[in-house]
Amino acid sequence: MNFSKHLYQVFLLSTLVPGLILAYLSFRTVKDERILIEKSLESRNEEFADAVQGVVDKTKAEHLARLQDQLQRASSNASPDNYLFLATDLLDNALVQSLAIFHDEEMVFPRRLLYQDTGNAAPTGTGADDSSQDDSLELPAYAQEALAAIQTEFRATRYLHAVRLIRAFAHAGDSLFSTRAGSPYKFGLRLLEIKCLIGLNLTEEAVVQGREMIQALLRGNGFTSYHQVHFYLSETVNLLTSVETLPREIRDYFWSIHQKSEIFLLNAEYVSQEWKASPEALLRSQALDFQKPIQINYLDGIPYLIIGYPWLDKETRVIARLNESVFAEAVQAEILQAKKSAWKDMDFELVNSRERPVLTTDSLSDRKTAMGKVLTGEFPAWKLVIFKKKESEVIALGRRKLTLLYTLLGFSLAALLIGSFAVLQGLRNERRMVLMKSNFLSAVSHELKTPLTAIRMFAEILESGRQTQEDKRKRYAALIGEEAMRLHGMIEGILNFTRLEERQSKLRFTELDLTLAAQEVAGLMAGAFEKAGIKLVLQLDPETKVMGDFDSLRSVVQNLLENSLKYSQTDTTVTVLLANESDKAVLRVKDQGIGISSADLKRIFDKFYRAGDELTRKTKGSGLGLAIVKQILDSHHAQIRVNSKLNEGTEMIITFNKAIHA
């Protein structure tokens, strides 16, 4: 009973005392709630501004730290494919919307196309020889003949001859490939050359040619759109990665080029379409400070990030157009949409450097400004405007606060009542459990002594040698076995209940025939019923299929039949009925025994519970049989009902869900 005392003390300390304190403080409300609310709103606005600043600073720090890590991993190698990896790594950062890479003040990524989509002549400074350019889309006759000869050799699988023709034609017709018509053929022939090298099993040379072709494609010269570049990149990668003998690291390299080319294409088109000022002009308009590897500057109200030495080599610069929406999304996620956010009722607006709102709460018309604050830091150049609450909202806020206080008071009083009732109920249950366990131990001790006494007595008779008749010696030995089995059954029943209660017993659910389980148990117990002079009647529908554990359900039937046998008199009948219904299977075990009183009926499934005094009850048992039945049926999602009257008999009704066939 010491536990009950401790439980009561814990209840006083953890529930009763805090509840009384809360009830006392709830009555001490302030005299002027309106003034306190307005002061609290001013303080709350300051806290909200700090919260927004914190979200912006956190978001910027995270993305810039990630950007720094990406730059530190980047190589200073100036090859075009390295620029592809560097650019796509940076573009993977949500802070970077688009970017361009410069080497010696020349944009090397994304490279400008030699020809524009309009079909006009190439702009100066692209590296093309203007005098050699020809806008004709048709190749000269000699070039067409050479291409036909190369195709013939390739189709005939004379790959070596085809390679020689390709290289001879490419060397002789170099100026042809600078024309608008010849450039795609140039890369087409190089692609065909790689196919021939693969056909000749010259994998290493094919890889070298593939790398050179990818670098040339990334330069972009000679194409009218980035989609052409992407096409030849895809064809080259697919061709080389189809070689089974290609080393894994080389295969991974080509696949990474292919995947990153998608980002390359999107970025290139965005730079060409959305950057109003040319990247070169932007680079020259900014004063570079070699002591600052990263600078944020605004041009026409748009933020750009300029990255240079020492994160990159001294000749390389990266200009990235920054994405301000990252901060708006972070503020919205952490301030407005977070489930536990304390700022959901704030009315505010975030304005960028161009005086355009980037994030606004709803219904801000006719609102007066309560507070305006420019966010610290050069980026993003935003201003936070917090609006005053309406008069009705302030009054409602005070009303809500008072309502909350009284609600807390009511809750504390309710908690006291419920807690008091729970403690008292717990004490009653504990006292009842102690009494039931005491009765159980007395009964089990008595039950165990009976077979042990018989075993000891018959063993002493056999050991003494006083009984010389062989048939009686065998009978005594058989009785020792029967009593041992009885003792084993009682111990096993207690252990089974313990396993079920601790959920250590593993049940194997399969589709089973409940009719077969009932027949087996009835067959095993037929002798005991006959010996007691009780008639056992079976009325079972055939093939009653349910989902369950066969041994467990057989144990249920056995416990019910043992109870009926235990509490029935001679010349009575025990009936077992099993009926198939639409989607249910109903098992009934009905006897004509002593019955159960209405007072005991509610507790017959409690563990250790037995009606009456354990030492004076005629029938013996541990009080675990029906508790085991209830545990098993609960695990099978089955329901059990009991109909019983004193001196008239008892009926146990169990309803199972039938097995569903696929």
Nearest-5° angle of CA 242, CA 248, CA 251? 45
Least confident of 212-216, 278-282, 296-300, 515-519: 278-282
pLDDT value at 41 more than 70: yes
Name the residue with higher pLDDT: 196 or 310. Answer: 196
Confidence of residue 425 (pLDDT cuts 50, 70, 90): confident
pLDDT value at 622 more than 60: no
Domain boundary among 288, 319, 350: 319
* Residue recorded with tokens 């301000």: 324
Residue 659 region by backbone torsions, left for phi larger than 0, else alpha for psi between -120 and 50, else beta: beta
pLDDT value at 38 more than 80: no
pLDDT value at 608 more than 60: no
| 357 located within any domain | no
pLDDT per position as a tens digit, 553-591: 888 888 888 888 888 889 999 999 999 888 889 999 999
How confident is the prediction for the chain on average, in pLDDT? 75
Confidence at residue 589, expressed as pLDDT on a 0 to 100 scale: 92
Confidence at residue 77, expressed as pLDDT on a 0 to 100 scale: 52
Domain boundary among 292, 319, 346: 319
Range of the domain at 287: 66-319
| 528 located within any domain | yes
| 538 located within any domain | yes
| 50 located within any domain | no
Instruction: Determine how β-strand 294-299 pairs with β-strand 106-109.
Output: unpaired
Confidence of residue 613 (pLDDT cuts 50, 70, 90): very low
Confidence at residue 490, expressed as pLDDT on a 0 to 100 scale: 62
Q: How far is CA 156 from CA 151, 196, 197, in A?
A: 9, 11, 15
- Rounded to the nearest 5°, which phi and psi values hold at 101? -110, 135
Least confident of 138-152, 203-217, 377-391: 138-152
pLDDT per position as a tens digit, 104-159: 777 777 766 644 443 433 333 333 333 334 444 566 777 778 788 888 888 888 98
Confidence at residue 662, expressed as pLDDT on a 0 to 100 scale: 45
For helices 550-566 and 514-532, the axis angle rounded to 10 degrees is 30
Q: What is the pTM of this model?
A: 0.46
Confidence at residue 279, expressed as pLDDT on a 0 to 100 scale: 62
Proportion of the chain above pLDDT 90, given as a percent? 5
Confidence of residue 504 (pLDDT cuts 50, 70, 90): very low
Confidence at residue 34, expressed as pLDDT on a 0 to 100 scale: 58
Confidence of residue 456 (pLDDT cuts 50, 70, 90): confident
Q: Residue 175 carries which DSSP code?
A: G
Confidence at residue 303, expressed as pLDDT on a 0 to 100 scale: 86
Name the residue with higher pLDDT: 137 or 410. Answer: 410
Confidence at residue 586, expressed as pLDDT on a 0 to 100 scale: 92
Domain boundary among 289, 319, 349: 319
Confidence at residue 588, expressed as pLDDT on a 0 to 100 scale: 92
Task: Average the pLDDT over 426-444 and give the result.
Answer: 65
How many whole angstroms separate alpha carbon 291 and alpha carbon 314? Answer: 12
CB 380 within 8 A of CB 56: yes
- Give 87-117 as a DSSP string: HHHHHTSTTEEEEEEEETTEEEESPPPSS-T
Beta carbons within 10 angstroms of residue 392's beta carbon = 8
| 590 located within any domain | yes
Least confident of 315-329, 339-353, 518-532: 339-353
Name the residue with higher pLDDT: 331 or 501. Answer: 331
| 76 located within any domain | yes
Confidence at residue 653, expressed as pLDDT on a 0 to 100 scale: 92
Confidence of residue 394 (pLDDT cuts 50, 70, 90): low
| 400 located within any domain | no
| 531 located within any domain | yes
Name the residue with higher pLDDT: 114 or 456. Answer: 456
What is the domain count for the chain? 2
Name the residue with higher pLDDT: 595 or 402. Answer: 595
pLDDT per position as a tens digit, 246-294: 888 888 888 887 877 778 778 887 887 777 666 666 666 555 555 677 7
Task: Average the pLDDT over 446-461 and give the result.
Answer: 70
As beta bridge partners, residue 649 has: 645
* Residue recorded with tokens 């080259």: 236
CATH code, domain with 596: 3.30.565.10
Confidence at residue 450, expressed as pLDDT on a 0 to 100 scale: 64
Confidence of residue 221 (pLDDT cuts 50, 70, 90): low
Least confident of 175-189, 334-348, 513-527, 640-654: 175-189
Which pair of structure tokens corresponds to residue 510?
């399969």
